[in-house]
């Protein structure tokens, strides 16, 4: 019987937190670019590693430039609650004490931009990337 009373009390006092919304874009990472992309690759090889680019442009010599622009977001919402004060029953005042409930939210975003330039033969001539987190 004591165990049945203690379990809900422990849960109430210790609080709880939950991860409500989390999204990651793991298809394109800095590690993938550093490990798998190299000068001399064909466009088909790049596409098999990174997928389709977001933007394709050409320069004045009709050479293609592929741009990959990825954004990933992570959002964490947590809620905790517990008992504060002491619970005593007084004849005139009723129960003394209360509960404390806290809601917190945080979010972050990461961006990764990869620029790949191709030569006259359709092979990677140069590539660069930039990543940020805020």
DSSP string, 34-89: HHH--TT-BHHHHHHHH-S-SEEEE-TT--EEEEEEEEEEEEEEEEEEEEEEEEEE
Provide the 8-state DSSP code for 120: T
- The C-alpha atoms of residue 116 and residue 122 are separated, in whole angstroms, by 11
The 3-class secondary structure across 74-85, one letter per residue, is EEEEEEEEEEEE
Domain limits, the chain: 21-133
pTM reported for the whole predicted model: 0.59
Would you write out the chain's pLDDT as a tens digit for each of its 134 residues? 554 554 454 444 444 433 333 333 456 889 999 999 999 999 999 999 999 999 999 999 999 999 999 988 878 777 776 655 555 555 555 555 556 677 788 888 889 999 999 999 999 999 999 999 88
């Amino acid at each position: 019987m004591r165990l049945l009373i203690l379990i809900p009390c422990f849960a109430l006092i210790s609080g709880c937190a939950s991860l409500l919304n989390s999204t990651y874009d793991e298809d394109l990472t800095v590690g993938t670019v550093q490990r798998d992309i190299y000068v001399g690759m064909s466009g088909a090889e790049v596409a098999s590693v990174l997928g389709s680019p977001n933007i394709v442009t050409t320069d004045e010599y009709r050479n293609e430039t592929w741009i990959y622009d990825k954004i990933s977001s992570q959002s964490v919402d947590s809620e905790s609650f517990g008992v504060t004060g002491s619970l005593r029953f007084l004849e005139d005042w009723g129960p003394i004490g209360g509960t404390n409930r806290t809601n917190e939210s945080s979010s972050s975003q990461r961006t990764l931009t990869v620029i790949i330039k191709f030569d006259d033969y359709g092979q990677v001539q140069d590539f660069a990337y930039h990543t940020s987190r805020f």
